[in-house]
Amino acid sequence: MVSRIDTLALRYKVIRQFKQLLLMGREYPRGYRYFRDNLHAGFKKNAGLTDVKEIEQKLKFAEHIEREIAALYSLRKYRAMKQRYYDGDQ
């Protein structure tokens, strides 16, 4: 049996992850609105989950997505710097 404290802690983690992804989505290449709508749909689809293991598995997936977005932004910054500072003849 899952205690109420565990449920609230898990709820806090989910909300924190949602907000973190929203914050990262501000610079998403296809636009913030597109990112926000898809993020909302993904979280809403899993809103009915009650099993703690399933919820934690989804949180791990969300963390993976967060790392992927960070990598996407790093790559975009690297490409911009490369374009700015290196000659295109190479």
The reported pTM is 0.82
Query: How far is 4 from 12, CA to CA, in rounded Å?
Result: 12
pLDDT per residue as tens, the chain (90 positions): 668 888 899 999 999 999 999 999 998 889 999 999 999 999 999 999 989 999 999 999 999 999 999 999 999 999 989 888 986 655
Among 34, 27, 25, 26, smallest CA distance to 62 is for 25
Helical packing angle, 4-24 and 52-85, nearest 10°:
20
pLDDT value at position 88? 63
